[in-house]
Each structure stands twice: as structure tokens, then as C-alpha cells.
Homo-oligomer: A and B are copies of this chain.
Amino acid sequence: MAKDKKLVEAITSMDVDFAQWYTDVVKKAELMDYSSVKGCMVIKPAGYAIWENIQGELDRRFKETGVENVYMPMFIPESLLQKEKDHVDGFAPEVAWVTHGGLEPLQERLCVRPTSETLFCDFYSREIQSYRDLPKLYNQWCSVVRWEKTTRPFLRSREFLWQEGHTAHATAKEAEERTEQMLNLYANFCEEVLAMPVIRGQKTDKEKFAGAEATYTIEALMHDGKALQSGTSHNFGDGFAKAFEIQYSDKENKLSYVHQTSWGLSTRLIGGIIMVHGDDNGLVLPPKIAPVQVIIVPVQQQKEGVLDKALELKGMLSNFRVKVDDSDKSPGWKFSESEMRGIPIRVEIGPRDIEQNQAVLVRRDTHEKIMVSLDELDQQVRDLLDDIQKNMYEKAKNHRDEHTSEATDLATFTKTVEEKPGFVKAMWCGCQECEDQIKESTGATSRCIPFEQKTLSDTCICCGKPAVKMVYWGRAY
């Protein structure tokens, strides 16, 4: 395959330096750029279009479950942030503070929202009076700010885009059901749309959200064997309701506190897509989320009829998101660029193909070339996109499974973390001391207590006391 050297040589091989490979890909695939604001990024069209597709699909799934969108202020008065003690302890050290409005100092500092539980609670305390007002199933799409010390494009940024859902319910049971429902919604979305297999489970107390009774998580495994927390769903019980006085009167006119949840998923997931599917030629996008699913590259486009034919093919593929690359770059450069950008299918069409009423389809995931008759183009592309989507999921799942180990003693555990990066399943006694010690000695954190449990041994790998749960451990982003 003709390939322009310059573009490919610009990427570090992922086996040589995965972190550098990642940085190269986000830049060369034109997903983002650094900005003049330290720790914040510019999301460029190719990156933002992925986010728009994530938004569109998730938003549709949210609304099917009765969720409505709202918009809350981006500022939180300091006194409001402080109302729930665990919450403020968790977030205060990493927020940005607005101290002046125009030329005047503010009477009370405002933080730029790191998350909006406090704003929603404040709103709900006025909005909810009766059982008729429940449930409240609100979500917002917005940006949030966390003043991180070290940042990486998409994965950890001082400002990022996300959605945050905040619900209020009459009963603890309903809140628990919603928490699980949204986690499953996230998991299904990741697996079906992003072709990214995830482990569903609960966070340990140490790792749960500041102010939550329980945090559920989906954990994905990246190509380098590190885990990525990809979405979380929190059950707050009535903790926030008590701090913010959110009560409703039931049918018997009795006052009760509401039970709340929140759940969020962010542009971090774009980093996940890159690190699960990418290769040494660049990005590989699952067809369902790819802003461009098919790129048509005319070969010898200056010859009469070639560009016209390319445009005709575009018309034949109107069921898909298609672009024709009619720029004045060389075909080799265009091939290389379409790979860098992760476009699932490339259609190559030149004078000889036109004569024979055919075109060459090239799969981004396997590099396989398929000669197809133009009469069957639409159907072939449809089948191929389906197959690519399935294949990418299978490949990622195989990789995940191959990089998931079990350990029943600390020596094996430590060796595995070091020598075979990935998830390590191991039994745990349930105490934070062991969790801390494992992290300190191996760098692996508890990723989750999976819903699907299995007893690997009877004792905690760390302290040897009776085990209560099997936990997924791993180094993580």
C-alpha cells in the first residue's frame, strides 16, 4: 500500500512508548490542540464530532428512560459547596475560584462547578414539595472544572465536557434502581456503540464519590493494560437531602427526605476510544461513533470522469456518513490520512475500477482490501460496517480477557501487576488498610467489586484474613 512516509513516521510506535503514541495520535488525528490556558485544551472538529455522536446517542437513551435536560449555573457560592461535608472535603482542594465580578470584589467567592450536586440539591429543595413532584429525572450537558496538577488530553484536563444526571426519588429502592439502571445504560452504550467491553461493579468506600453511599462504575481496559474508569453512577441515599432539607409530603401528608442519585460520563471516553482501538497507523473508530464512516479517495482524480464517479459513489452511499477527499494531496497521503483519522472504510476508485464497474474497499480495522461491484456497493458497505463494529468489540474483548489474571497470594499478585499489565482479580477482606498497602506496594488500585462475583480463595491476598469480595485491581489512568 502506497503510504506517505511523513505522516506515519510522525507517530511513535505504541510498543515503544505508549504515552507518546497517545499524544501523537490526538495531535495527528487532529482531535485536539493545546491552548494558551494551562491544562485546558481546544477540542477540534474531528474530536468534537465524536463527542456530538456520543451526546446524540446517550441523550436519546436517557430520554427513553424519562430523563429531561436542564441547565444550572456554572458557579457555586462557597457556602453552598460547604453544605455537605464529605462532598466539600472531596472537591474544595481542586476547584477554581472566582473572586471578582467586573471591577468589584465579590462578597462571597464562587467556585466554577467541579460537579453540580450542590446546585441541584439547592434547586430541588425549592422545587420538591409533594410526592407529585417525584421523581425528578434531570440531566445537563455542560463543562466542569477541576484544577488538576498534571493533565493529559481528554483523560485529565482542567476543564472537560460531560453530562451529569441528578435524580430525586420518593424511596431508597427507586434511587437504587435508577443508579443501577444508568450504570447499565452506560455499559450497554460503551459495548454496543463504542465497541468497548467494560466490567460493571461497585467502587470500594475509599474510591467512591465524595458524599455518596455507593458508587457504581464501568471499567475498561486500555491497550497498554491500564484501566480507565469510563462512567460512574452514585446512590446518595438521603445524605444530601438531609444536608439540603429536601423533603416531600407523601399521600398521608407525612414529610420524608428524598433519595438521590447522580451519574456522569465525560469526554474522557474519547481517550478511551483511542487507547482501546488505536494502532500504529493512528486512530481506529468504531463505525457507530465515527463522524465519517466512509471516505472515498479518487485515484488519478485529474483524469476525466474520476472525480465525478467519486461523487456518484457518495450519492449511492447516502445512508452513511461519507466524505470524498478531493483535495490536491497525493492518493498515498490521503490513504495515510484516512487511517490516521480512523475512518472505518476507505473506498478507492480509479480509472481502471470505473471501467470494470468496481471499487476497492479497505477496512481500517484489519487493513483487508475487498474488491466490490458498484452494483452491490451500498449493501457491501452496510455489511462491512456491521462486521467492523463486531470485530472491534471482539478484538477488544479478547485483549481484555487475555490481560485479566487471577491471583491468590500477594507475591503472584505483585508479579502479575508488574509483568502482565491488565486487570488482576483477587480476594479482599474489605478493609482500607489492605487497599492502601496494595496500592503502595504495587501501584494497583481497586477498580471495582464486580457484580459478577467468584470465590478465588477464602482469604484476602494482603492480610490473609477472611475474604468478603473478589475485586478487580489494576493500574489506572
Q: Does A143 contact B (CB under 8 A)?
A: yes
CA gap between A74 and B43 in the complex, in Å:
12
Question: Quick one: given A33-B126, A36-B122, A45-B138, are A100 and B97 in contact (CB under 8 Å)?
Answer: yes
A37 → chain B closest CB, angstroms? 4
CA gap between A100 and B98 in the complex, in Å:
7
Question: Quick one: given A98-B98, A99-B100, are A48 and B71 in contact (CB under 8 Å)?
Answer: yes
Within 8 A of B (CB), among A92-150: 93-103, 110, 112, 119, 122-123, 126-127, 138, 142-143, 145, 147
The one of B37, B68, B94 that contacts A102, using a Cβ cutoff of 8 Å? B94
Q: Does A318 contact B (CB under 8 A)?
A: no
Q: Which residues of B contact A40 (CB under 8 A)?
A: 73-75
Contact between B45 and A69, CB atoms less than 8 A apart: yes
Q: Does A70 contact B (CB under 8 A)?
A: yes
The one of B42, B73, B97 that contacts A98, using a Cβ cutoff of 8 Å? B97
Q: Does A243 contact B (CB under 8 A)?
A: no
Contact between B98 and A112, CB atoms less than 8 A apart: yes
A37 nearest in chain B by CB position: B73
Question: Quick one: given A70-B48, A71-B48, A122-B35, are A97 and B99 in contact (CB under 8 Å)?
Answer: yes
Question: Quick one: given A37-B76, A71-B48, A138-B45, are A95 and B99 in contact (CB under 8 Å)?
Answer: no
Q: Does A49 contact B (CB under 8 A)?
A: yes
Q: Does A462 contact B (CB under 8 A)?
A: no
Q: Which residues of B contact A98 (CB under 8 A)?
A: 96-99, 112
Q: Does A80 contact B (CB under 8 A)?
A: yes
Question: Quick one: given A37-B75, A77-B37, A145-B74, are A69 and B48 in contact (CB under 8 Å)?
Answer: yes
Q: Does A372 contact B (CB under 8 A)?
A: no
A307 → chain B closest CB, angstroms? 18
CA gap between A100 and B70 in the complex, in Å:
28
